[in-house]
Amino acid sequence: MPNPFRKARIFLGETSTELKKAVWPTKTELRDSTVVVFFATLLLGAFIALADFSVYNWIQLLTNWVRG
């Protein structure tokens, strides 16, 4: 019967090797990227809120016209 932990040990060894090859961001790069993501999220949220508000008002206006 094969050892059930052999594949797990091989997987963890390969994972460790690959993580050592990775290039991790510096604190400055990480901070700058976080700021960009934060502001992009705010802009996208504001756009979606504005679009939602506009569509809601247009539909309400058209509904009122149809009702008479």
pLDDT in tens, 16-38: 999 999 999 999 999 999 999 99
9 falls within a domain: no
Specify the number of domains making up the chain.
1
Domain of 39, in residue numbers: 25-68
pLDDT at 68 over 80: no
Residue 1's pLDDT is 72
Can you give the pLDDT at residue 2?
A: 74
Q: Residue written as tokens 């990227």?
A: 33
pLDDT tens, residue by residue, 48-67: 999 999 999 999 999 999 98
Residue 16 and residue 32: Cα distance in Å, rounded? 28
User: Is residue 59 in some structural domain?
Assistant: yes
For residue 3, the 8-state DSSP code is -
Predicted confidence at residue 44, as pLDDT, reads: 98
Handedness of CA 54, 59, 62, 68 (dihedral sign): negative
Any domain includes 52 = yes
Judge contact between 56 and 64, C-beta under 8 A. no
Residue 10 belongs to some domain of the structure? no
The closest alpha carbon to 25, from 33, 36, 17, belongs to 33
